[in-house]
C-alpha cells in the first residue's frame, strides 16, 4: 500500500523525542506495537489482579480550545506550539505504559516521574504561546498557566466528570471503565515492564476493548445522544442536494499530518488519514498548492480536500507504516481498511436558502480528543447498513452477516460570514440548531454529509476479550475510542462549481 511521498519536514524536536523513545525501549519501537508476536495470541489467564485504580491514560486540558483571540500572524507559531504539546502527551503516555513495574512499587511514581515533568514542559510552551500572542499585538489570556497540569485517569472513570471535564458521563465508559480494571484488571496487566504478559485483548495496543463494541440490534432506534451533527436539511427550506464523487482513496494517499489543526508540522495528527479529492494535501500545502493540485473528484472543478482517520483491522497485518510515527510506532497498527463507498453530499437548510462557501474554508467536525475532553465537540455516528435508524456514538457496531459498517459525519453548516478559519479552528463555524436555524450572526451554507461504508469482518468477543477488532486511528492516549472519530474538509471548489452547488440546493434539484 502506498503513501504520500512528498518530502517530509519533521521538526528536530520531534525527531529527538522519537529517538529518545526508541533508545528507552532498546530500539524496539513503542511498547504497544510489540506486545505479542501474533495478534491472535491470547494473554495467559492465570494472572494476578492489579489495583483497579491504576492509571491507564493521561488527561491534559485542551489548550487549543481555550485560545479564541489569536492574531492572524501568530497563528502558525501557536499551532506549532500546540502540536509540540501533543507530542509531549504522546511521549508521556509512552512512558506511562512502559513503567508498570515502577508504578506498582511506588504509588507516587506517575505523579513524580511522568505528570510533574510533563506539567513543567507544558508550562514552557504556554509561556511561548503567551509571548507569541502578545508580540503579534494580541492579549494572551492571563490564566493559561492553569492548563499546564495533567492528571492520570484510572480505568474506573475517565475523570468521572462527564462533558468538558474529561469524563465520559460520570463513570468512564459505562460506570466500569474498560471492564472495571483498566484494560482488563490493571491497565494492560502491568505492561511489559510490569512483569508477565500484558492483558491487551491480543491486539498489541491500548484498545479497543470488548466494552467498546455493541451489537447493532442492541442500539435503540433514534437514540443518538449527541447534540452535534444533526442533518440540516428536511422537507422545507432549501431541499436540493449536490453529490461529488471523489472515489475511495484509490491513489493510496495517506499521511499523519493535519493541515488545518497543525499546519507546517509533520505528524501533527499522530494518526493516519485517508484523503480523497485534493492530491497535494499534507502539512506543508499552501492554499496555492491546493488550488493548483490534481483532484480525484470526477468533477475537476472540485479540488476540495476531504480527509478522515483510517480504520484498521487489528489482524496482525504489518502495514507500510508499521514502524512509522503516526502508524505502528504510536499504536496505530493493523490492516488499513479503505471504504467500499464514500458518499460526499452537500444538502440545504430547513429554514431557507444557503449561501456559497468561501474558497479555502476549513471545517473540522468531531473531536479527536473527546475521550478525555468530553463530548462538547464530539460528532460520531456509527451504524450498519440496514440498521441506519440505529446510531451509536460511543461504541463500534457489531454488524450481522451481510451488513456493512457505516460512519456518518454531518458537518457544521452555519458560517460567521467572514472567516475561513479561527484560532481554535471552530469558532467561525456552528452547527444548526434543532429547528435547522443558525445562531445569531451566522448564515447557512451547504452542509457536507460524509457517509463511509466498510466491508469489515465482524469481530468476535469471548471471555471478555475481542478478537480481530477494528478501530479508528487515534492519538495514543485516546485508546482508539469510537467517540474520537472526526472528519475534516477544506473547500477548494472553483467559483463556477460552488455557484452550481448553491443553485441546485436552493432550487430543490438533486445534482452530481
Q: Peptide bond preceding 16: is omega within 30 degrees of 0, i.e. cis?
A: no
For residue 3, tell me if it sits in a domain. no
The residue assigned the cell 449536490 is: 242
Residue 143, pLDDT > 50, answer yes
Using CA atoms, how far apart are residues 371 and 78, in angstroms rounded to an integer?
24
H helices then E strands: how many in the chain?
Answer: 9, 23
> Among 193, 210, 227, where does a domain finish?
210
Dihedral sign from CA coordinates of 413, 337, 461, 163: negative
Same domain as 166, residue 225: no
CB 197 within 8 A of CB 43: yes
Half-sphere exposure at residue 496, Cβ-oriented, CA atoms within 13 angstroms: 3
Q: Please, which pLDDT band fits residue 277 given cuts at 50, 70 and 90?
A: very high
Domain count, the chain: 2
CB 29 within 8 A of CB 327: no
Same domain as 407, residue 495: yes
Least confident of 24-28, 145-149, 260-264: 24-28
Same domain as 231, residue 353: yes
| Percent of the chain topping pLDDT 90 | 75
Angle formed by the axes of helices 12-24 and 72-97, nearest 10°: 0
Same domain as 292, residue 177: no
**pTM across the whole model:** 0.84
Provide the H-helix boundaries in 339-449. Answer: 370-373
Same domain as 288, residue 364: yes
Same domain as 223, residue 186: no
Name the residue among 220, 505, 227 with its Cα closest to residue 367: 227
For residue 352, the 8-state DSSP code is: B
Using CA atoms, how far apart are residues 98 and 105, in angstroms rounded to an integer?
14
Query: How high is the mean pLDDT of the chain?
Result: 84
For residue 506, tell me if it sits in a domain. yes
Q: Please, which pLDDT band fits residue 205 given cuts at 50, 70 and 90?
A: low
Angle formed by the axes of helices 116-135 and 72-97, nearest 10°: 170
pLDDT single digits (tens) 149-167: 999 988 644 433 333 333 3
Q: Residue range 367-388: average pLDDT?
A: 95
> Among 146, 177, 210, where does a domain finish?
210
Same domain as 281, residue 168: no
For residue 4, tell me if it sits in a domain. no
Same domain as 71, residue 17: yes
For residue 401, tell me if it sits in a domain. yes
271: its cell numbers: 494518526
Enclosing domain of residue 328 = 213-511
**SS3 of 131, please?**
helix
SS (H, E, C) 42-99: CCCCCCCCCCCCCEEEEECCCHHHHCCCCCHHHHHHHHHHHHHHHHHHHHHHHHHHCC
Least confident of 68-72, 116-120, 198-202: 198-202
Element (H, E) at 134: helix 116-135
Q: φ and ψ at 341, to 5 degrees?
A: -140, 145
C-beta atoms surrounding 257 within 10 Å = 28
Same domain as 217, residue 205: no
Q: Report pLDDT for 208.
A: 93
> Among 181, 210, 239, where does a domain finish?
210
Same domain as 220, residue 85: no
Q: Please, which pLDDT band fits residue 200 given cuts at 50, 70 and 90?
A: low
Q: Residue range 491-495: average pLDDT?
A: 98
The residue assigned the cell 518530502 is: 7
Same domain as 167, residue 230: no
55: its cell numbers: 492509571
For residue 357, tell me if it sits in a domain. yes
**SS3 of 482, please?**
helix
Same domain as 200, residue 219: no
Using CA atoms, how far apart are residues 512 and 439, in angstroms rounded to an integer?
30
Cα-based torsion angle of the residue sequence 353, 357, 363, 366 in order, rounded to the nearest 10 degrees: 20
Amino acid at each position: 500500500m502506498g503513501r504520500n511521498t512528498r518530502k517530509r519536514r519533521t521538526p528536530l524536536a520531534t525527531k529527538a523525542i522519537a529517538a529518545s523513545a526508541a533508545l528507552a525501549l532498546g530500539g524496539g519501537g513503542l511498547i504497544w506495537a510489540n506486545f505479542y508476536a501474533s495478534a491472535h495470541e491470547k494473554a495467559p489467564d492465570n494472572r494476578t489482579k492489579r489495583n483497579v485504580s491504576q492509571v491507564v491514560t493521561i488527561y491534559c486540558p485542551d489548550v487549543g480550545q481555550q485560545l479564541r483571540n489569536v492574531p492572524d500572524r501568530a497563528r502558525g507559531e501557536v499551532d506549532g506550539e500546540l502540536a509540540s504539546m501533543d507530542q509531549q502527551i504522546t511521549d508521556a503516555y509512552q512512558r506511562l505504559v512502559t513503567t508498570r513495574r515502577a508504578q506498582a512499587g511506588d504509588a507516587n511514581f506517575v505523579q513524580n516521574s511522568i505528570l510533574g515533568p510533563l506539567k513543567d514542559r507544558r508550562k514552557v510552551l504556554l509561556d511561548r504561546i503567551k509571548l507569541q500572542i502578545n508580540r503579534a499585538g494580541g492579549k494572551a489570556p492571563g490564566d493559561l498557566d492553569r492548563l499546564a497540569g495533567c492528571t492520570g485517569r484510572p480505568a474506573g472513570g475517565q475523570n468521572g466528570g462527564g462533558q468538558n471535564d474529561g469524563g465520559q458521563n460520570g463513570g468512564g465508559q459505562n460506570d466500569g471503565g474498560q471492564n472495571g480494571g483498566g484494560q482488563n484488571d490493571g491497565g494492560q496487566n502491568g505492561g511489559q515492564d510490569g512483569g508477565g504478559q500484558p492483558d491487551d485483548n491480543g491486539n498489541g495496543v491500548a484498545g479497543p476493548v470488548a466494552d467498546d463494541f455493541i451489537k447493532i440490534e442492541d442500539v435503540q432506534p433514534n437514540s443518538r445522544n449527541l447534540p452535534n451533527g444533526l442533518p440540516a436539511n428536511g422537507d422545507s427550506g432549501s431541499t436540493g442536494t449536490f453529490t461529488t464523487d471523489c472515489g475511495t482513496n484509490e491513489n493510496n494517499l495517506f499521511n499523519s499530518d493535519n493541515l488545518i489543526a497543525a499546519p507546517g508540522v509533520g505528524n501533527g495528527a499522530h494518526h493516519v488519514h485517508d484523503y480523497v479529492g485534493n492530491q497535494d494535501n499534507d502539512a506543508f500545502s499552501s492554499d496555492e498548492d491546493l488550488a493548483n493540485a490534481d483532484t480525484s473528484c470526477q468533477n475537476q472543478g472540485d479540488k476540495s480536500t476531504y480527509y478522515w482517520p483510517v480504520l484498521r483491522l487489528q489482524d496482525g497485518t504489518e502495514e507500510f507504516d508499521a514502524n512509522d510515527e503516526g502508524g505502528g510506532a504510536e499504536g496505530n497498527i493493523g490492516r488499513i481498511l479503505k471504504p467500499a463507498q464514500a458518499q460526499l453530499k452537500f444538502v440545504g437548510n430547513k429554514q431557507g436558502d444557503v449561501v456559497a462557501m468561501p474558497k479555502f474554508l476549513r471545517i473540522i467536525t468531531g473531536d479527536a480528543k473527546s475521550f478525555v475532553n468530553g463530548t462538547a465537540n464530539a460528532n460520531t455516528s456509527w451504524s450498519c447498513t440496514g440498521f441506519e435508524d440505529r446510531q451509536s456514538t460511543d461504541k463500534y457496531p457489531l454488524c450481522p452477516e451481510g451488513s456493512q459498517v457505516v460512519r456518518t459525519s454531518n458537518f457544521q453548516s452555519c458560517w460567521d460570514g467572514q472567516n475561513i478559519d479561527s484560532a481554535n479552528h471552530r469558532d467561525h463555524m456552528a452547527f444548526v440548531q434543532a429547528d435547522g436555524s443558525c445562531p445569531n450572526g451566522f448564515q447557512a451554507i451547504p452542509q457536507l454529509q460524509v457517509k463511509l461504508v466498510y466491508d469489515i469482518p465482524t469481530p468476535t468477543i469471548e471471555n471478555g476479550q475481542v478478537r480481530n477488532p477494528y478501530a479508528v486511528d487515534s492519538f495514543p492516549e485516546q485508546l482508539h475510542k469510537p467517540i474520537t472519530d472526526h472528519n475534516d474538509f477544506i473547500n477548494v471548489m472553483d467559483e463556477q462549481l460552488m455557484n452550481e452547488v448553491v443553485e441546485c440546493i436552493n432550487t430543490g434539484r438533486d445534482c452530481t
